[in-house]
Homo-oligomer: A and B are copies of this chain.
Amino acid sequence: MLRIILLASLFACAPAAAGDLIVEKREFVTEDFRTFGGATIPRVRVGWEAYGELNEERDNVILVTHFFSGTSHAAGRYHPDDAEPGYWDAIIGPGKAIDTTRFYVISVDTLANANAHDEHVITTGPATPNPTTGKPWGLDFPVVTIRDFVEVQKRLLDSLGIRKLHAVIGASMGSFQALEWAVTYPDRVERMVSVIGAGRMHAWEVALLETWTRPIRLDPDWRGGDYYDHDRPLDGLTDSLMLITLNALNPDFFEMQFPEHEALPDEALESIHGGFAVTDWLEQRARERARVSDANHVLYLARASQLFIAGHGAGHDGDLASALARVQAPTLFLPAQGDLLLRPELAAEAHRLLEEAGHSSTMATIKGPMGHLNGIASIASQAERIERFLEN
């Protein structure tokens, strides 16, 4: 179907040209990691990528924190013939908004990264061996939070002798990490950019995230999370990823892709099993992604997201306003038009609370038909704004 090819091209680019970034995945290992919840992970191993050069003062660093379904592959290609570059390649690279001839750009795979079975991802979570037993952690892995993702990043930066961030920028779940940085380490963060973000989850978002976890728990192959010696629960994971994709897009996008949607395809009328082009597309896409994803990791990322409130209630009165009062960095919020997942009201709430506290904060809306995913697919439309924000 031609339009699906057009969709793919929204995410893909032409093969690398001369001057394009070629990147490699690196590994960071740290021991005795104490989680926010008070558990200990004896050994944390995560992947990371960097674009550009660290200057002598080590003060030209921009940290990019990734979204729920994302990885540290924010820009560039592993090989010149990779079909797709990192997800924000439109704004990260030589001469681009986040200019890698000036900045040293770092991104780190989170704990319990969703793409645990992707060869380019290094993560520590339920699917990785517990050093104590030699077997995968499964659900013995402790609940981890956005704060924990930040702490792992901080350990990596400390190991590189980096004390200041010129900026931290992230989309969606990455925006949670970016804001958590600005609240928890205000003296280390000079600028914060929240793309399709939020200051905290409200009850509705907690409920929506829960629906992503339930197909996994329903799949008999899930086996209470202890499936690593058996087939993985790919059917439940596929259903979960279908929900995630649907929630991350806007009806306008579906209308563009399936404009002549036939309400009465013969198949769907003849058999309760017959499908529709749109549902076949959603399922096929989800099933492909399920191959490199880990079901338990999706549960852990959903929980980390459900638990998110900037500052995580520590070091202040526990509410969002008093957390945001700690922020020193100028902040830029970029919610997306038609975002049905992290509604623009959520970014607006954080922006408003910062302004009410006399803080310097800016907000602008990303336009486009893709809803939440405008924050990835339409980020180029904000390139100039981001570039200016990084200069000030």
- Identify which of B139, B220, B277 contacts A272 (C-beta below 8 A): B139
User: Within the assembled complex, what's the spacing in Å between the Cα atoms of A309 and B257?
Assistant: 19
A355 close to B (CB within 8 Å)? no
Q: A253-278 CB contact bits vs B (8 Å, 1 = yes)?
A: 01101100101100011111100111
In the complex, 13 of the A-B residue pairs with CB atoms within 8 angstroms, ordered by the A residue number, are A139-B272, A143-B272, A145-B269, A202-B255, A203-B276, A204-B254, A207-B246, A210-B279, A220-B220, A264-B307, A264-B313, A272-B303, A340-B340
Query: CA–CA, A270 to B264, complex, Å?
Result: 49
Which residues A63-118 have CB closer than 8 A to chain B? none
Judge whether A26 is part of the interface by a CB distance below 8 angstroms. Answer: no
Closest to A219 in B: B218
Q: Is the interface of A mostly helix, strand, loop or mixed?
A: helix
Chain A residues proximal to chain B, CB less than 8 Å: 36-37, 139, 143, 145, 200-208, 210-211, 214-215, 218-220, 225, 235-236, 239, 242-243, 246, 250-251, 254-255, 257-258, 261, 263-264, 268-273, 276-279, 282, 299-300, 303, 306-309, 312-313, 340, 343
**Which residue of the partner chain, among B207, B264, B276, contacts A254 with CB atoms under 8 Å?**
B207
* Interface pair B211/A242, CB less than 8 Å apart: yes
A261 neighbours in B (Cβ, 8 Å): 201-203, 206
* Chain B residue with Cβ nearest A126: B272
- For A268, the closest partner residue in chain B by CB is B307
What distance in Å separates the Cβ of A299 from its nearest Cβ neighbour in chain B? 6
B269–A143 CB distance below 8 A: yes
Q: Please, how many angstroms separate the alpha-carbon atoms of A232 and B254 in the complex?
A: 34
**Contact A243 to B139, CB < 8 A, known contacts A204-B254, A255-B204, A264-B312:** no
